[in-house]
Structure 1
Amino acid sequence: MDGGMSALASKPAKAFPASVRLAVAADIDALVALENASFVDERATRRAIRYSLRSPTMSVLAAVTDDAEGEVLVGAATIERRRGSRIARLASIAVSSSRSGQGLGSLLLDAVEVEALAQGCSLLRLEARTDNLGAIRLYERRGYRHYGTKPDYYQDGTAALCFEKMLIVP
């Protein structure tokens, strides 16, 4: 990770209760806890998250907010890239259930798009479970185009809808 998020101006609009930054090794416990709380199947392991944090072709973003005890991680997103490719893939996005409905998914998606652009990517792709209607609505509202379906994609047999969006330099 080469710091592409610095272009994000990590303070969000006032409507959002959090800011987004690149995750660091010190976030590993919070990232693992969020992963375990957010996903039943296909959870990233501690080892996989550690690898993502160190990988030059991945970015892990952390949505954080401050409370009485200090900074709290309330959401995260992982972006994958291939060297030489202008296509990025949103591998995972998660928001703490205690912060659901507060706009953090949209805040993280903004940050993902900025990070993908900062890493030289012009197309962002992702998959969404066919039963994850909230995520599907978010992606459609944000201009993502459905371009295919992957049957039996998830461990439980649920299909995935494939979305993509051309990213435009602001």
Structure 2
Amino acid sequence: MNTGSGPVIRLAGAEVVDALGPLWIALHQHHRSVAPHLAMYDDDRSWRLRRELYRQWITEPGSFVLLAELGGEPVGYAFVHVFDGPDDSWVSGDRIAELETLSVAPAHRGQGLGTRLLDGVDVRLDELGIGDLYIGALATNLAAQRVYERRGLRPLMVKYARLAASPQPR
């Protein structure tokens, strides 16, 4: 999946999980910037927790990583977790995908790499025969929400939370 001299996107699996750390931390820092009101773990703890989730999710049949590399260095990735369906409320397939992470290195944002990764996710899901895709976005990350809506995704649920570590309005 290469278009010219830009990053090359390739299908990957468990072998790349450890290399995703810096890109996860860049995304975690971005989340902090768009949701400064939330109490968040420090970068190292966040990555340790996420890495363990990746190690679990990648063992699920169909789950995959699309890794974008430039000169052999990771500059972006999409991590897709595939799990058994159908959903218990709305009509869905026997397998459902969730885009758990879409991260692009700060120096490569705004150049279409995220779109290319999302295009690759759609192609891979078509190959796997999976039509149902969930994507979560922080409520304050309006730019990400606009990207997903331009791709034909629509809000499905709104998740409310009371986080003990975050200040609560009274």
TM-score (norm 2): 0.70
Alpha-carbon shift at residue 146 of structure 1 (Å): 1.7
- Number of matched residues? 142
Match of 2:76 in 1: 75
Change (3 A) 1:147 1:55: closer
Map 1:12-161; keep pairs closer than 5 Å. 12=3, 14=4, 17-40=6-29, 41=40, 43=47, 44-66=49-71, 71-83=72-84, 85-152=94-161
Higher-strand-fraction structure? 1
- Could you tell me the percent identity over the aligned residues? 34
When Rg is computed on C-alpha atoms for both structures, the one with the higher figure is 2
Query: Aligned with 2:152: secondary structure?
Result: coil
Moved more, 145-154 or 118-127: 145-154
TM-score (norm 1): 0.70
Change (3 A) 1:25 1:126: closer
Structure 1 residues without counterparts, runs of 5 or longer? 1-9, 158-170
Moved more, 131-140 or 39-48: 39-48
Alpha-carbon shift at residue 155 of structure 1 (Å): 8.7
Change (3 A) 1:155 1:74: farther
Residues 122-145 of structure 1: per-residue CA shift (max 9 Å, x gap): 121111111112211111111111
Structure 2 residues without counterparts, runs of 5 or longer? 30-39, 41-45, 86-93
Q: CA RMSD in A?
A: 2.6
